[in-house]
A and B are shown apart, each in its own frame.
Chain A
Amino acid sequence: MYLGKVYVSYKPSVLDPQGTVIQNKLGQLGFADVDSVKQGKYFEIKLKADTKQAAATQLEELTQALLINPNTETYRYDLEEVSA
């Protein structure tokens, strides 16, 4: 069994209004050193696969099929073997 941790974020060119609001509020709360905030999505996906390579292939396919919209979003992931 493998555990994939998928991090989805907007491409740099895409406006993230939630991130901007959070950044503004952090500034008001005194966190003056916050330079920027981007809000993204995080998924934990457990996969049955025989090898880590097979798990990675599945994870990439399912992420591109549903988890992201390639117009605006990009992703990275971590993958580790876990007990069932």
Chain B
Amino acid sequence: MKAAVVQFPGSNCDVDLVKALKQFDVAVDVVSHQQTDVFDYDALFLPGGFSFGDYLRSGAIARFSPIMTTVKQAAAAGKTVVGICNGFQILTEAGLLPGQLMQNETPGFICDQVGIEIENPATRFTKAYDRTEITLPVAHGEGRYYADEATVAQLNAQHQVVLRYQTNVNGSSDRIAGIMNEAGNVFGLMPHPERAVESLLGNADGQGFFRSLLVPVNVH
């Protein structure tokens, strides 16, 4: 797999993501948000951070970066697109995933290890996990997933909810921590699997996410 990690002004999880991908022998490049020619990558990753300072709304300015045209084309072509934390915020602002990430219900920044339920273990992002309860780090002030009731009902009905918080740490609609699009190739999540890939650092539960990506898409 050949992957690109998109660097926006204010990205700060890009290096962690590159290191994690390399740990699983993925060929990875960091590409600028101003680049437009990234068609030969199999997967595009939008990392965590504070793109454009999170001014206006998280992800609202980054959505208009030149690379987002390519990201939309890649998504439409069925390539893997993943947005983690700020990347998730960008994907919703860009309309690639429904809903929006809003300020946490209890004001303040949450930095913690939280219990996560893998709600859909049959996705290209979760299929390598051998259990459905894991722990992942979260670090966000605007991580409350919000969508109207009809959208949440549709996400549930179509099995697009991939991850849920065991305890609703930020007040998200229906405890949603990560969703994918209808086609199943675009995934946005607030937890940080790239920060949980080394048991030396106390948590390796993110490894299943990266292992899942390496399983060919048509094999279940």
Contacts and interface: CB of A to CB of B under 8 A. Distances in A.
Contact of B146 (A14, A18, A21, A67): A14
B155 to A, nearest CB: 14
Contacts of B107: 17-18, 21
A71 B99 CA distance: 7
A interface, over-half SS: loop
In the complex, which range does the number of interface residues on chain B fall in? 10 to 19
B218 to A, nearest CB: 34
Contacts of A14: 102, 146
A71 B57 CA distance: 13
Interface in A65-84: 66-67, 69, 71-72
A69 B103 contact: no
Interface residues of A, number: 11
16 contacts: A15-B146, A17-B103, A17-B104, A17-B105, A17-B106, A17-B107, A17-B171, A18-B107, A66-B60, A67-B56, A69-B93, A69-B100, A71-B146, A71-B147, A71-B148, A72-B146
Interface of A: 13-15, 17-18, 21, 66-67, 69, 71-72
